[in-house]
Amino acid sequence: MYIKDDVCYAGELVPNIEVSSIKILEDGMMLIHFNTGETRLFDVTSLVEKGSVFLPLKDECNRKTAKVTHGFVSWLDGQIDIAPETMYMESYKYTKDEIA
């Protein structure tokens, strides 16, 4: 657990990590490009298990509303968001060869 900007977060702080860009894939998957230069694969549907706030992400149309705002990903015009640290730690390393 850590506190940043008076907000308490679960998990471990990954210093200065931000989402640079995203690419929405099929079946709830997303490629995330971080400011570290890494590209990682994230399963958006896994968020549904984390709480009712993420239930709208069961719907593919809602998942497609994802956008990067101030270094983190949000959906439905900011109604749902998640910390970049969480996305980083719960994603899988991906290389450009694997993306092709």
Q: Mean of the pLDDT values across residues 35-41?
A: 95
List pLDDT tens digits, range 87-98: 999 999 998 765
8 or 78: which carries more pLDDT confidence? Answer: 78
Q: Which domains does the chain have, with CATH numbers?
A: 14-99 (3.30.2020.10)
CB burial readout 42-60, b (16+ within 10 A) else e: bebeebeeeeeebebbeee
* Residue 4 pLDDT level (bands cut at 50, 70, 90): low
Mean pLDDT of the chain: 89
Backbone angles phi and psi of 24, in degrees to 5: -80, 125
Q: Is residue 12 over pLDDT 90?
A: no
Q: Is residue 74 over pLDDT 70?
A: yes
Stated pTM of the model: 0.80
